[in-house]
Amino acid sequence: MSRILITTDYLRPGDEVDQYLRKQGHTTVHSPMVGRRDPAQLVAVLDGMDAALVANEPLTADVLSQASRLRAVVRTGVGYDSIDVAAAARLGITVSNLPGINANAVAEYTIGLLLAAARRLVQSAAGVAAGGWPREDAHELRGSTLGLIGYGAAARAVVPLARAFGMRVLCTTAVPEGRRKDPAVRFVDLPELLAASDHVSVHTALTERTRGLLDAAAFRQMKKTAILVNTARGAVVDEQALADAVRTGEIAGAALDVVSEEPLAADSPLRDTDGIVVYSHMAGQTIEARARTGREGAAEVLAALAGRPRFAVNAHLLPSPTAVADPT
């Protein structure tokens, strides 16, 4: 039977996932990811492991090359940009994600950030805590335009919630036209979306094409009253350019659940900028989503070890093709 490493911090010895894997005859080893690990630590915890159920560890080509027994890696989430999937394929390691697993949680959280930013809830509460009684006017969502960057499962789940608030929805995406079938969404290119949107919400994967996509030039195209929301990947946003844009009034503010370096660095330009609120990467972390993620992640580990991964994102790179999941 196989040895399975579990690094996702909310999966613990004795829980439902642990019991399930052990009942199948496998040995589990828990090493929760807390903060950043250097490559030597990752190599050490992967030693002797046949599979790994992981959070956001940077599984580079060098780290993977030293995990001689490793055959399968499963991300307990959607994004897998922290894993060198091509290197994994060369080593015969399948890499899977769990597409759409936390889409509802992310969609509800996105609406929460939109509301909090539009009504300046965090600033109001902070003012009261500091002894004040702030009473600034704010904005309603109804009648405003929401621009979605990306059209994956989470973005699609945002659409009916935004429409329920009376928002118009625009979207820019690389998803083929044949899969853009939502009559509640108008699909446009990025410049038109930036110019027309009162709120811009990021839901795209981090790739070389999207890294730094929202830069100084992009912020200049946005309304001065616009709010940026990011629940996807921090590196999609040029953080220095964002801080500058908010400080100079080029845009009104931002609500960020993700940043390029997590936890937020002490010298981050995002700190101490009125109008920018940074949260601690919690969009997909509800009790319900975590339960689904644990169960589906464990099932995918076993499927991958049996040579039948359902959601292998590097299947097309492996010597023996397996079913490729929709990465959006």
95 pLDDT above the threshold of 80: yes
Q: Are 165 and 144 in contact (CB under 8 A)?
A: no
Q: What number of H helices and E strands is found in the chain?
A: 11, 12
Rounded alpha-carbon distances, angstroms, from residue 153 to 24, 147, 197, 231 = 31, 15, 21, 13
Q: For the segment 254-282, what is each residue's pLDDT rounded down to a tens digit?
A: 999 999 999 999 999 999 999 999 999 99
Confidence of residue 109 (pLDDT cuts 50, 70, 90): very high
Q: Phi and psi dihedrals of 68, rounded to 5?
A: -65, -25
pLDDT for 325 equals 43
Query: What CA–CA distance (Å, rounded) separates 45 from 314?
Result: 23
pLDDT for 327 equals 38
Return the residue matching tokens 């949260």.
279
Query: What CA–CA distance (Å, rounded) separates 89 from 84?
Result: 9
Query: What average pLDDT does this structure show over 220-244?
Result: 98
pLDDT for 33 equals 82
Q: For the segment 166-222, what is each residue's pLDDT rounded down to a tens digit?
A: 999 999 999 998 889 899 999 999 999 999 999 999 999 999 999 999 999 999 999
- Active site positions, annotated: 233, 262, 281
Q: For the segment 27-58, what is each residue's pLDDT rounded down to a tens digit?
A: 999 999 877 778 999 999 999 999 999 998 99
State the pTM of this model.
0.91
